[in-house]
């Protein structure tokens, strides 16, 4: 199980970092093409934490990868049979929220913008509520199908 979890994490890390690179590149190209020369899709406050723009960009991509790896690797919690679905979902939410919120706060300097922080936290919570609801309904339907076949 550990080997498979680490493999999923590595793949998700690569995909997330690559997607972050592509999205930032597209944003930079489009904005610069509109006449805003010197635009960089990384937060100026985040950029100021590093000696060069390149280093900030590398760390930015690294952090995108960490978010993707965390989301992927934490799915192992759903393979733990001794705890219920609600507890599994709470554990998944708490761990992924901690990592994601910490990283996005650093990347976007959300602690300086309370409205953006509240918006990000709200969006994250709503997303997980939707994910939980959809997963719960699927699980309930699967159980009903199994029970029907057993009868």
List the one residue out of 23, 52, 54, 49 whose CA is nearest residue 111. 49
> What percent of the chain is modeled with pLDDT above 90?
52
> From CA 119, how far away is CA 145, in angstroms rounded?
39
Amino acid 106: pLDDT:
86
Domains of the chain, by residue range, sit at 2-150
Is the pLDDT score of 95 beyond 90?
yes
What confidence category does residue 118 fall into, taking pLDDT thresholds of 50, 70 and 90? Answer: confident
- Which of left, alpha, beta for 109 (phi over 0: left; psi -120 to 50: alpha)? left
Calculate the average pLDDT of the chain.
90
Amino acid 104: pLDDT:
86
Amino acid 112: pLDDT:
83
> From CA 151, how far away is CA 146, in angstroms rounded?
9
56-76 pLDDT tens trace: 999 999 999 999 999 999 999
Helix (H), strand (E), coil (C) string for 8-50: HHHHHHHHHHHHHHHHHHHHHHHHHHCCCCCCCCCCHHHHCCC
Q: How far is CA 106 from the centre of its chain?
A: 14
């Amino acid at each position: 199980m550990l080997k498979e979890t680490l493999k999923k994490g590595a793949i998700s890390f690569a995909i997330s970092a690559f997607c972050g690179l592509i999205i930032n590149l597209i944003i930079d190209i489009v904005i610069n093409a509109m006449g805003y020369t010197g635009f960089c899709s990384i937060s100026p406050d985040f950029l100021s934490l590093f000696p060069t723009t390149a280093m900030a960009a590398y760390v930015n991509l690294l952090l995108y990868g960490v978010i993707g790896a965390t989301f992927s690797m934490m799915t192992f919690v759903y393979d733990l049979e001794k705890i219920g679905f609600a507890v599994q979902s709470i554990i998944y939410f708490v761990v992924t929220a901690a990592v994601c919120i910490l990283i996005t706060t650093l990347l976007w300097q959300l602690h300086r913008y309370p409205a953006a922080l509240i918006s990000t936290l709200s969006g994250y919570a709503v997303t997980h509520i939707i994910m939980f609801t959809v997963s719960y309904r699927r699980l309930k339907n699967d159980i009903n199908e199994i029970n029907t076949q057993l009868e």
